Each structure stands twice: as structure tokens, then as C-alpha cells.
Amino acid sequence: MAVEDNRLNLIQSRIRDFPDFPQKGIIFRDICPILKDPAALSAVTSLFEEHVRAQFQQVDLVVGLDARGFLFGPLLAQRLGVGFVLVRKKGKLPGATVSVAYNLEYGKAEAEIQEDAVAPGQKVILIDDLLATGGTLYAACSLMNQQRAEVLGCLVVVELKELNGADKIKPHPVYSLLKY
């Protein structure tokens, strides 16, 4: 437990707060310093890997959300020995895609996945940097449901508890390294 606490302390020490960004009243939690620090990045990846291995007997794919899920997802997938799949903003993927519309705090958006990226019955873990209102993760879960994949859980580095995003994606469990 002390080792885990040390890793969490390291990760937390690398999160920078930017008040009033992108608008007044919001504190932006910047994860970029984690990416510059190999020990902090390794701590994130190790904690995610340990959680997944302890909780799930089989994982077939790690699914990363555009764009910061692309940073952590491939590292976790490599450690788990599984593939990595992208959920992108609409219009960014070639070939046949499946999409879903969703609401953001500040408007609407669409997410999509390549039609053949996930096979029915595959067990997937979703990963992103931040859980706020849950709109993006909810959309990704919806895409996985359309593909008839089994969402085992969602992983995030930071969860903003007061926005209740985890409630939106129930019954899928959320594992957050840090909660604000």
C-alpha cells in the first residue's frame, strides 16, 4: 500500500491546476507534466495495469478516447499484451464507421469507431485522462454496446467527483487514480 501511495503522490504532484480555464469558474487539471516525467507516466501505467489484472480475468482490447486516452491506452495495452482501439471525434477515421452523438458540458459532439475495430463479445477496457460529466465515456460505452462488446470498466487518471460523471456511465465501474 505504501508503494501505491507513493505512486499516487507522485502522479498528484505532477497535476497542474489552471484556474478559470477554459472559462471563468473552471479549474483545469493539466496532466501534461505526467507525460514529461517517465516515473510519473510509469506510475499511471502500473497502477492501471495492477487494477485491471486484479479485477478482470480476461481483457481483449483497450479502447482509448480521443485524444488523451490515446496517450495512456497503448502503454496499458502493451503491458497487458492486448490490442488498442481508437474512439475518435466524428470524421477522423477512414473506412466504415459506427458513430454516436452525445452532449458535452458546452455543446454536442459525435464519437465514432471503425466498424471492424471491435468484434461482438470482446471484453474491453475504456481509458481516458479525465472524467467530468461523463458524456464522452458514456458515448464510448454506447459505441461498445452497438458493437456488442462487453465493457468491463473505465479507467481515468482524474475524476471530478462533483460533476457526477460516474453516475452517467453506470453500471460500468470507473477506476480513478485521483479524485477532486
- Torsion sign (Cα): 124, 48, 128, 179: positive
Catalytic (active site) residue 162: no
Q: Which of 105, 110, 115, 148 is catalytic?
A: 105
Q: Which of 29, 68, 112, 159 is catalytic?
A: 68
**How many whole angstroms separate alpha carbon 166 and alpha carbon 106?**
18
| Rg, Å, the chain Cα set | 16
Q: How far is CA 166 from CA 32, 106, 179, in A?
A: 23, 18, 11
Residue 107's DSSP bridge partners are 104
Whose cell is 507522485? That residue is: 10
Catalytic (active site) residue 68: yes
Using the CB atoms, write b or e for 90-99: b if 16+ within 10 Å. Answer: eeebeeebbb
| Order of all β-strands in the sheet with 174-179 | 97-104, 107-114, 83-89, 61-65, 123-131, 150-159, 174-179
User: So which residues are the catalytic ones?
Assistant: 68, 105
